[in-house]
Amino acid sequence: MSATVKAHGMDGTLVEPDWPPLTLAELRLLLAQFPALGEPIEILSVSPRPFSAAGVVATTKGRVFVKRHHHTVRDAEGLHEEHRFLAYLFEHDARVPRVFASAQGETATEIGDWIYEVHDTPEGIDLYEDAISWTPFFTAAHAHSAGQALARLHLAAQGFAAPRRKARPLVAGFSIFAAPDPHREMDRYLADRPLLATNGAARVHCRQALQLLAPFHARLSPLLPSLPPLWTHNDLHASNMFWSDAGSEARVTAIIDFGLADRTNAVHDLAQAIERNIVEWLVLVADATHPEDVPVHFDHLCALLDGYESVRPLTVEEAAALAPMTALCHGEFALSEADYYLRVLHSDGKARMAFDDYLVGHARWFRGPGRALLNVISRWAETRAVRPQEAGRQ
């Protein structure tokens, strides 16, 4: 492999990674605790994702995927939250990777300041390996298959009753806008993240975002009791799925990367999938003066929703909640990113981009050109046919 390693930057460009890439020397030390997986031979690929160091590793007994976190981002308890969910999904026939345990029975391995997890490599190909979040599917057929895969995941997740995750960096939860009073809940959220709470610019942007998003919360609030809690993925971008082949009709073979998973609800997760794949937000980052130029892939939206409902039809209330949820769903993760940049990377510039361009910028777009997207989702909710499976759930 080339010695040059790049990561996805916040504006979509390739940049120097925040975390050093994996080395064979550290992998030998790590995999010595996993004797059944063999010894590392070669690092076959390096993930360009910015929040950790990861890659596919060839060993004397096959291939594994290794991910390394700094202890300030994930500790053993934090990884165990994710691994328990993955184990439950795996046991309920969801197409997710298996997490390997060491000879000591541990799935989160601490070595110095780092903590590692080792996964099986899923069936299929990493078709969107280099794709950045907020970039679209290649085809509408891919969007349809992604919708089906997400719905199957939601069915498999039913019955997993773990509580909501503790306050951690880089988790896409749903608490602020799940509350009757988002202002009070925002104060609680910030109190758990002192560097955000004491950052004057962050407080100003939080107030702006709450004001911009208030009409969408008002629409969602009466529907919240109809949205059952569910552990969800919260980052279903095309790059977090494996695919059957490289063709235009490729199917999803597995869903990967559960780092943002938390107890939210199915509509929140579906809204996140819309937010991640259907709107090209990086165009807004490049030029915030022309928000009307942000591409929205309505054909992919329809395919994603059709695929989802072919497996798990939404109730009337869930369908009605989808439009306002789409406007609200990214807010909490934008704040989680800002907290990560302040607390872990100590970067005021990156934090400001998270709460200015992401938190407020997205909210402002939904109050302007983004209304067209929300109107399409609302019309779909009002006019879609009630399927026999759905009628039985009401």
For the chain, percent of residues with pLDDT exceeding 90: 92
Mean pLDDT of 374-380: 98
CATH code (residue 317): 3.90.1200.10
The residue among 87, 120, 153 that closes a domain is 120
Does residue 18 belong to any structural domain of this protein?
Answer: yes
Same domain (yes/no): 259, 212: yes
Same domain (yes/no): 156, 107: no
Distance CA 74, CA 81 (A): 10
Does residue 81 belong to any structural domain of this protein?
Answer: yes
Q: Tell whether the model's pLDDT for residue 175 goes beyond 90.
A: yes
Does residue 312 belong to any structural domain of this protein?
Answer: yes
Contact between residue 260 and residue 273 where contact means Cβ atoms under 8 Å apart: no
Same domain (yes/no): 184, 264: yes
Which pLDDT does position 387 carry in this prediction? 53
Same domain (yes/no): 105, 209: no
Same domain (yes/no): 336, 370: yes
> What is the DSSP pairing of strand 114-120 with strand 109-111?
antiparallel
Same domain (yes/no): 71, 176: no
Distance CA 318, CA 313 (A): 9
Does residue 60 belong to any structural domain of this protein?
Answer: yes
Which pLDDT does position 386 carry in this prediction? 57
Same domain (yes/no): 235, 112: no
Does residue 135 belong to any structural domain of this protein?
Answer: no
Distance CA 72, CA 32 (A): 24
- Parent domain of 215: 140-393
Same domain (yes/no): 317, 209: yes
pLDDT tens sequence across 221-271: 999 999 999 999 999 999 999 999 999 999 999 999 999 999 999 999 999
Q: Tell whether the model's pLDDT for residue 391 goes beyond 50.
A: no
Contacts of 115 (CB under 8 A, 6+ apart): 68, 69, 70, 71, 74, 75, 76, 79, 108, 109
pLDDT tens sequence across 141-157: 999 999 999 999 999 99
Contacts of 106 (CB under 8 A, 6+ apart): 33, 76
Same domain (yes/no): 97, 147: no
Banded pLDDT at 283 (limits 50, 70, 90): very high
Mean pLDDT of 167-191: 96
Between 133 and 347, the more confident residue is 347
CATH code (residue 85): 3.30.200.20
Count of domains observed in the chain = 2
pLDDT tens sequence across 189-226: 999 999 999 999 999 999 999 999 999 999 999 999 99
Same domain (yes/no): 111, 165: no
Same domain (yes/no): 101, 145: no
Beta bridge partners of 46: 55
Q: Tell whether the model's pLDDT for residue 394 goes beyond 60.
A: no
Q: Tell whether the model's pLDDT for residue 133 goes beyond 90.
A: no
Same domain (yes/no): 147, 78: no
Does residue 2 belong to any structural domain of this protein?
Answer: no
The residue among 86, 120, 154 that closes a domain is 120
Does residue 129 belong to any structural domain of this protein?
Answer: no
Does residue 29 belong to any structural domain of this protein?
Answer: yes
The counts of H helices and E strands in the chain are 15, 11
